Amino acid sequence: MLFSIAEFQERLANTKKRMESEGINVLLVTDPANMNYLSGYDAWSFYVHQLLVVIIDEDQPYWIGRGLDANAARYTTWLDQNHIQSYGDQYVHSAVRHPMEVVTDFIKGKRLDKQTIAMELDAYYFTAQSYLRLAKGLPEAKLRDATNLVNWVRSMKSDQEITYMKQAARISEKTMHAAYNALNEGVRESEVAAAISYAQISGTEEFGGDYPAIVPLLPTGEKTSACHLTWTDDTFRAGDPVIIELAGCYKRYHSPLARTAVVGMPSEEVYRLSETVIEGINEALDIIKPGVTCEEVELAWRRSLDRNGYKKDSRIGYSVGLNYPPDWGEHTASLRPGDQTILKPNMTFHMIPTMDLGHIGMEISETFRVTETGYELLSNFPRELLIKPNAHLA
């Protein structure tokens, strides 16, 4: 196991405190990151229905999943055999049966079917059909929404979690170097994406990497104004900006990193935009310390942006850490107006103030940890516009 049983028990206790404060007797956890956080479960099985059942007065959660994946639960979790339950393959992708029928039978067997039962209604892997089957099978239960309940518990990292994120950051640095080295005029976007993926998974000499929750993002030229594009088989052209957004991932913990690069000489507009973004990041980082709110961090950025004559409507960052596809964000605190979340030591954020001018865009980012007195950057990579000399003209 990646963590001690004592750490898992502390996570479970903190989750139960939140359950108790909200009057929840049973919590159904379907977000794979939250399942991992509370139990250690780690397998590529989230394409079928699986969950943890957390019961307020029991000392272990129950894993319920496909029978084919029960051994993965035995190998990766701290749960004893009695807390690993499974269903047969007749429930997998069936038009007439559904795994939540097994869950409702389990809850009835525990005589909890008249209690307050909460679930992650807005989790990626909790479907509308799942809710309908639970509601039908538990007609006397009080069904509640507990979206992000465990996510908020996860927002405060342990020292071991921070260590894993720092190891992920070493992979991020290596991977960004690999992307920069592969980039050149005439090279296909897919070749740079391949170099990124190879570096992410091969890792460093000391440790290998995991698959990240998001594939490499690589918009180029005018498409840098659409920051979530991936790659094509087009070739890079001299002078075009290229956004490179990636993350190292270690033991499912992420440390994202984004930079914008140019093959050859950047335009004056691109260079000025990069200087503005860097100035804003510097000023936002400068105010980070425990007790500051997420809103105040964004305000420092916005004031810098205003002085330089630019506007940005979207958030500039979010809480980050343990996760699975399709997102490495934790869906809790965001660096944006109105977010009154107070920064505390060992919270971790990805600050990524993406700029979109319509015809070009810019990304430069940093992942940081809140310390007792300020902040600590997890990656050590030049915070600048990356200019790649054009080898064809050298």
CATH class of 159-393: alpha beta
Q: Given a cut of 50, is residue 92 above it in pLDDT?
A: yes
pLDDT value at residue 392: 56
- Give the phi and the psi of residue 177 in degrees, each rounded to 5: -60, -40
Backbone angles phi, psi at 291, to 5 degrees: 100, -20
Strand 116-119 versus strand 142-145 pairing type: parallel
Question: What percent of the chain shows pLDDT beyond 70?
Answer: 99
Q: Where are the domains of the chain?
A: 5-154, 159-393
Q: What is the mean pLDDT of residues 50-75?
A: 98
**171 pLDDT higher than 60:** yes
User: What is the pLDDT averaged over residues 212-228?
Assistant: 96
Token digits for 314?
Answer: 């979207």
Q: Please compute the mean of the pLDDT values over residues 234-254 and round it to a whole number.
A: 97
Confidence of residue 1 (pLDDT cuts 50, 70, 90): confident
**Predicted pLDDT of residue 390:** 75
Average pLDDT, the chain: 97
pLDDT tens-digit readout, 316-363: 999 999 999 999 999 999 999 999 999 999 999 999 999 999 999 999
Separation of alpha carbons 313 and 379, rounded Å: 27
Number of neighbours of residue 74 by Cβ within 10 angstroms: 13
pLDDT in tens, 15-54: 999 999 999 999 999 999 999 999 999 999 999 999 999 9
* Residue 232 vs residues 115, 189, 192, 229: alpha-carbon distances, Å: 52, 6, 10, 9
Pairing of strands 253-263, 386-388: parallel
Name the CATH superfamily for 5-154: Creatinase/prolidase N-terminal domain (3.40.350.10)
pLDDT at 391: 60
